Amino acid sequence: MILLAKLGIGVLVAGAVVSSEGFIHVKVHEKQPNGTKVNLFVPAALATTALHFVPGRDLKARDSAELRSCLPLIEAAIPALYRSPDGVLVEVKDAHDHVLVQKIGGSIVVDVNDSEDMVQVSVPLRAAQSAIHQIAEANSPN
C-alpha cells in the first residue's frame, strides 16, 4: 500500500515537473481531401531537455554571429512579452492567406491559414527562452 502511494506521488511529481513549462502544441490540417491531420502536444520541459542531448554541431546556425546579435533582443523581448496582457500582436491578411500571431496565457500562438493548410503552433514563452539559450550556447565562439 505504501509502495503504491509512493509510486503515485512519484508519478504526480514527475507529471508536475514535465508539465511545469506548459505544452508545445502543433496542429496541422491539410485542406485537400484525405489530407493529413496532425495534433501534437509535447511537454515543453521534455523538448528543452531533449535539446541537451542534441549534438552541438547540429545546433549550429548557418550564421551564428547574426544569431548571437539577436540574443539581447530575444532576452529583452521574451520576459516583457510574458508580462504583457494577452492579445493579437500581428495579423496579416489578404485574399488567400491569414497569419495571426497572438499571446495567449504564457504562450505565443501562431496561426497560418492559407488555401492549402491550416497550421497552428503554440509555444510557451519560457520554453522558447530556454531553448534559444541552449542554441545560443551551441553557437558561442568558444
Partner 1 sequence: MNTKNKSLLLVAGFSALSVFTLSMRTAFALSASPTRYLHVRVSNPATHELVRVNVPLTLAEKVIPAINHGQLRDGKVQIGNFRAENVNIHAILDVLKNAPEGNFVTVQDTGDDVRVAKERSQLVVHVSDKNSGENVDVTIPWDVAQALISDTNEDQLNVEAAVKALQNVDDTTLVRVSGRGENVRVWIDSWNTDAQ
User: Would you tell me which residues interact with partner 1 (CB under 8 A)?
Assistant: 69, 72-73, 75-77, 79-81, 83-95
d(CA 17, CA 15): 5
What DSSP assignment string belongs to 30-50? E-STT--EEEEEEEHHHHHHH
CB of 88 to partner 1, least distance (A): 6
> Which residue lies nearer to partner 1 by CB, 3 or 73?
73
CB of 16 to partner 1, least distance (A): 29
> Which residue lies nearer to partner 1 by CB, 26 or 110?
110
> Which residue lies nearer to partner 1 by CB, 70 or 121?
70
For residue 26 the three cell numbers come to: 502543433
Buried (b) or exposed (e) across 30-69, using 16+ Cβ within 10 A?
eeeeeeeeeeeeebbbbbbeebeeeeeeebeeeebeebee
CB of 105 to partner 1, least distance (A): 14
CB of 45 to partner 1, least distance (A): 25
> Which residue lies nearer to partner 1 by CB, 69 or 140?
69
d(CA 84, CA 11): 33
Contact 67, 139 (CB under 8 A): yes
